[in-house]
Structure 1
Amino acid sequence: MSKAPPLGGILETSVYVEDLERAHGFYCGIVGLTRMVSGERLSAYDAGPGETLLVFARGLTAQDVETEGGIVPGHHSEGPSHFAFRIAADQLEPWRAHLAACGIPLRSEVVWPAGGRSLYVDDPDGNVVEFAAPPLWPNFTE
């Protein structure tokens, strides 16, 4: 088997929601992301340098979509999903306070074996959103 070429990281991650505007209220209004693209099927948010959060309308993405540049394969998800935002360790308390001030209850808080911490909340569609501070994974220490 040949050795895989190097990756540059994860460019996009996605969640599926019932109501794009309700999700926009959370991801823009609460989390503070800037929406870069808005349409009937999806909203795309700037989630950090070179990183994009795709918020898809559940039920509108299962079919292939033909574009001028080629066909985007259909995809979908059932039930809640999970992803994590990277935050600095000194931002745990500000995030905890901000979420509380916005009426977003913490679902869970975890202290990881390496010493990092994660705050977990639900978005309006039940997707599990994590705010993770290092050290957590061997490749996430700062």
Structure 2
Amino acid sequence: MTLPHAPPLSALLEAALYAEDLDLAEEFYGHILGLPEVTRIEGRHIFYRVGQTILLIFNPKATQEGSSNPRLPVPPHGASGPGHLCFAATRDEINQWKQRLDAAGHPAEAEFDWPNGAHSLYFRDPAGNSLEIAERGLWF
């Protein structure tokens, strides 16, 4: 099968994680991580800005059904179980995040240097999602 040329994809516009308790998610992502909230629909989702990307936090039960708005026919989607995201920061910022997360009762699950020398810090959100803060040198 011959496919047409693949146009470039320039960035990741949004990424999603799932959390049944949106109030706990708001406390964690909005207060502890300090992400600016873009929008919230009670019982369904909270969206946050992370640089040039939007982090979508969905209640997984609410996304099992498609949109009820005919002007926005978003199909059903979602996942169950913990997901993973990695935020970018400098090594010094990662150290500051470790202190902040410890003080907020979210201690590191793992912290180490990759074979290429990039540093990573892993921790969990209240829904059990695996979060990482790593130096950009991990990939770039």
* TM-score normalised by length of structure 2: 0.91
- Could you tell me how far apart the structure 2 residues matched to 1:17 and 1:62 are? 13
Q: How many residues align?
A: 137
1:78 corresponds in structure 2 to: 80
Q: Which amino acid aligns with 1:43?
A: I
Q: Residue by residue, what CA displacement relative to the aligned partner does 1:67-86 show, whole Å, maximum 9, x if unpaired?
A: 35331011121111101111
Q: Tell me, which stretches of 5 or more residues in structure 1 are unaligned? A: none
Q: By percentage of residues, which structure has more strand?
A: 1
Alignment of 1:1-142 (within 5 A): 1-40=3-42, 41-48=44-51, 50-67=52-69, 69-137=71-139, 140=140
Deviation at 1:130, TM superposition (A): 0.8
Root mean square deviation, CA, Å = 1.3
- Could you tell me how far apart the structure 2 residues matched to 1:86 and 1:20 are? 24
Q: Does the residue aligned with 2:107 lie in a helix, a strand or coil?
A: coil
1:80 touches 1:126 (CA, 8 Å); kept in 2?
yes
Q: Residue by residue, what CA displacement relative to the aligned partner does 1:81-136 show, whole Å, maximum 9, x if unpaired?
A: 10111112331211111111112111111311211111111100100011111310
Q: Does the residue aligned with 2:138 lie in a helix, a strand or coil?
A: coil
- Could you tell me how far apart the structure 2 residues matched to 1:68 and 1:52 are? 23
Q: Tell me, which stretches of 5 or more residues in structure 2 are unaligned? A: none
* TM-score normalised by length of structure 1: 0.90
Percent of residue pairs bearing the same amino acid type: 39
Q: Which amino acid aligns with 2:5?
A: K
Quickly say closer, same or farther: Cα 1:43–1:118, change in 2 above 3 A: same
Deviation at 1:5, TM superposition (A): 0.4
- Could you tell me how far apart the structure 1 residues matched to 2:4 and 2:112 are? 38
Q: Does the residue aligned with 1:67 lie in a helix, a strand or coil?
A: coil
Q: By percentage of residues, which structure has more helix?
A: 2
2:83 touches 2:129 (CA, 8 Å); kept in 1?
yes
Q: Which runs of 4+ in 1 moved over 2 A?
A: 66-70
Q: Does the residue aligned with 2:81 lie in a helix, a strand or coil?
A: coil
2:98 touches 2:107 (CA, 8 Å); kept in 1?
no
